[in-house]
Amino acid sequence: MARRRRVFEVFTLSFLDCICCGFGAVILFYTIVSAQAGVVHIKNIDEMTAEVNRLKDEVLTGTRGLAPLRNTLEITRDEAARASAQTNLILAELARKQEEVSVYDATSLARREHIEKLKADVRSLEAGNKRLKAGSDERAAPGQDVTSFRKIGGERRYITGLRMRGKRILILLDVSGSMLHEDLVEILRLRNTDDAHKRAAAKWRRAVETVNWLLTQVPPGSEYQIYTFNTKAQPLLPDSGKKWISRGDTPRLERAMQALQMIVPAGGTSLQNAFTEAKTLFPLPDQLVLITDGLPTQGKTVGLHKYVNSAARERLFDQAIEEIPHDVPIDCVLLPMKGDLEAAHRFWHLARMTDGTLIMPAKDWP
């Protein structure tokens, strides 16, 4: 009997079992791999979380320290601003000091040039005096026969260039406090003494003797008037007013000399008021003799400042010059005063401008 041929089937139960087992193995493998990957991922997440927490702690710590840093920064900025302001002040002060130094240098240079000019003027005057003295020694001087003015007797020559030549001679005598002495410290000391000591001051006695000498030189037939001035100007003899006194009026001459002995120097010096008062005389003087020791300390009225510097005194002198009578020669007798460097030049210019003479007498004159 013929054997029946077996039918071959591909998808048998055994084959399906193998396929299922293979798929299961694959699924199991992927499950194991996925589980392992999840563990690694969780581990990484934990590490990153720890790192994040650490960074948060650092940020928190930094935030806490940021406030002091901000305060420190504000303090630093304030200090920098103050330092900048202080620097600007120092720079401004430095610029001001440099400007003062430049002005001082310019002033010092001008003063040195002025001093050199004065020295040249003094040398010129000394040379002129020597020439005049040489000429006067060769011929009899007209002043050798003048009247003696001291009780002890004795005659004096005319000092070079100073001659009483006018028909109406006005003598202006400075009676301010500076006439007590040539040194400021001694002036302050004498101001606190009694009137007798003030009248006996050596410098003031020279001024009085100078007026006495001038009075003896008034030419016969001429007239004179004496005005004293400090802050104000007034006639030496109040009853003479604005009138001229005759040279031959002996009683008034004696009264004038006695009045000189009673004066006590005091107060400031207003040369402007003295010249203004001189213009009130009628007729005007044709010769004016000014006896003083330096530049004025006030103008027409007392100034606002208690102390007057050299520049201000020069301005006061210039203001006084504007009040001088026209066409009247002014002879200046300048007594010494320490520290008043500009006085000699200013009064020399005044005498030269009015065709007068500047006299700076020696200690034994007159």
131 and 46, same structural domain? yes
Task: Confirm whether 107 is domain-assigned.
Answer: yes
89 and 38, same structural domain? yes
Task: Confirm whether 326 is domain-assigned.
Answer: yes
Instruction: Please provide the average confidence, as pLDDT, over all residues in the chain.
Output: 84
209 and 131, same structural domain? no
**Could you tell me the CA-to-CA distances from 315 to 272, 277, 349 in Å, in that order?**
11, 20, 14
| Mean pLDDT across 329-358 | 93
Closest CA to 354 of 290, 265, 270: 290
| Cβ-proximal residues to 170 (8 Å cutoff; 6+ apart), any chain | 224, 225, 226, 227, 278, 281, 285, 287, 288, 289
Amino acid at 267: G
Domain of 255, CATH number, reads 3.40.50.410
What is the chain's Cα-based Rg? Answer: 55
pLDDT in tens, 98-150: 888 777 777 777 778 888 888 888 888 888 777 776 655 554 443 333 444 44
Amino acid at 162: L
Whether 346 shows a pLDDT value over 70: the answer reads yes
| Mean pLDDT across 200-210 | 93
d(CA 291, CA 99): 41
Whether 235 shows a pLDDT value over 70: the answer reads yes
Task: Confirm whether 117 is domain-assigned.
Answer: yes
| Mean pLDDT across 72-95 | 88
Domain assignment of residue 118, given as a range = 21-139
Q: 0.85 cut: is pTM over it?
A: no
Structurally, how many domains does the chain consist of? 2
At residue 246, φ and ψ (nearest 5 deg) are -70, 145
Task: Confirm whether 31 is domain-assigned.
Answer: yes
Binning pLDDT at 50, 70 and 90, where does residue 8 land?
A: low
pLDDT score for 160: 52
pLDDT in tens, 14-63: 777 788 888 888 888 888 887 777 777 777 788 888 888 888 888 888 88
Whether 178 shows a pLDDT value over 60: the answer reads yes
Q: Is 175 exposed, middle or buried (0-12, 13-18, 19+ CB in 10 A)?
A: buried
Higher local confidence (pLDDT), 130 or 223: 223
Q: What is the 3-state secondary structure (H, E, C) of 226-253?
A: EEEECCCEEECCHHHCCCCEECCCHHHH
d(CA 366, CA 363): 8
220 and 91, same structural domain? no
Pinpoint the alpha helices (H) of the chain.
13-138, 184-191, 195-199, 202-216, 250-262, 271-278, 310-321, 343-353
Q: Is 292 exposed, middle or buried (0-12, 13-18, 19+ CB in 10 A)?
A: buried
171 and 125, same structural domain? no
315 and 355, same structural domain? yes
Last residue of a domain, one of 139, 154, 180: 139
**Percent of the chain's residues with pLDDT above 70:** 87
320 and 172, same structural domain? yes
321 and 177, same structural domain? yes
187 and 130, same structural domain? no
203 and 99, same structural domain? no
Task: Confirm whether 219 is domain-assigned.
Answer: yes
290 and 254, same structural domain? yes
346 and 217, same structural domain? yes
* Whether 191 contacts 219, CB under 8 Å: no
